[in-house]
A = this chain, B = another copy of it.
Amino acid sequence: MQSAIEPLDWPSLIEAQPAAGLIPIGLRQQAKRLDAQARVPLFRIGDPVRCVYLVVSGEARLIRLARNGSEVILQRSRGGFLAEASLEARSYHCDAITTEPTTILTLPVAAFRAALEEDPIFRSAWQSQLTKEIRKLRAQCERLSLNSAADRISHYIESEGADGILTLHQSRKSWAAELGLSHEALYRTLRRMQSEGVLDVDGVRLATK
């Protein structure tokens, strides 16, 4: 079995993912918990939008296949909403999939929209969420505009890490995809940066120097 619906325990959900705490009571009653293994599709391009996804733990991604068959990562959500823009769409414009065992809350779109209308706090939180996503995407665009692998790596550590230190929450191979690089280029550049003393690599901990 690839996924399962389990009973909801709000205090622990909120502890795992604070954003869940912003969901109004009325909407909570319509939420369903979804526990999925790795590589479980949540929706596919063209599917009608039925619910909003909140990643509680684990990771879910929006992906699209390029014409040459390579996979482009459009969003990587580790805790927080997935596919925020789908709230305004009829059907999905890309695929969504889990990359590891993941717990998700699903919220019916109609009830979600109603809750946004009625609850000023929830609404404000949602607007912040959208804004944060815009900033994140701009950073990603800026990064992809850099044309050397080393620059993209440094940029990622600076913008996603804290004080020049980043703990990597994914395989290097999939990080390479997120950086728009081949995994070989990433491995080689990491090594070179380390040997040049620009970067300190220690397992999943990366630090610029």
Residues of A that sit less than 8 Å from B by CB = 62, 64, 66-68, 72-75, 84-85, 87-88, 93, 116-117, 120, 123, 126-128, 130-135, 137-138, 140-142, 144-147, 151, 180
Inter-chain contact A140/B141, CB cutoff 8 Å = yes
Inter-chain contact B85/A134, CB cutoff 8 Å = yes
Cross-chain contact of A75 among B73, B88, B138 (Cβ < 8 A):
B138
On chain B, the residues within 8 Å of A141 by CB distance are: 72, 74, 137, 140-141, 144
Overall SS of chain A's interface:
helix
Inter-chain contact B66/A131, CB cutoff 8 Å = no
Could you tell me the distance between the alpha carbons of A134 and B84 in the complex, rounded to whole angstroms? 8
Pairs A–B under 8 Å by Cβ, sample size 30: A62-B138, A64-B142, A66-B142, A66-B151, A67-B151, A72-B141, A72-B145, A85-B131, A85-B132, A85-B134, A85-B138, A88-B127, A88-B131, A116-B127, A117-B120, A123-B123, A126-B127, A127-B127, A130-B134, A133-B134, A134-B137, A137-B137, A137-B140, A137-B141, A140-B141, A141-B141, A141-B144, A144-B145, A145-B180, A147-B180
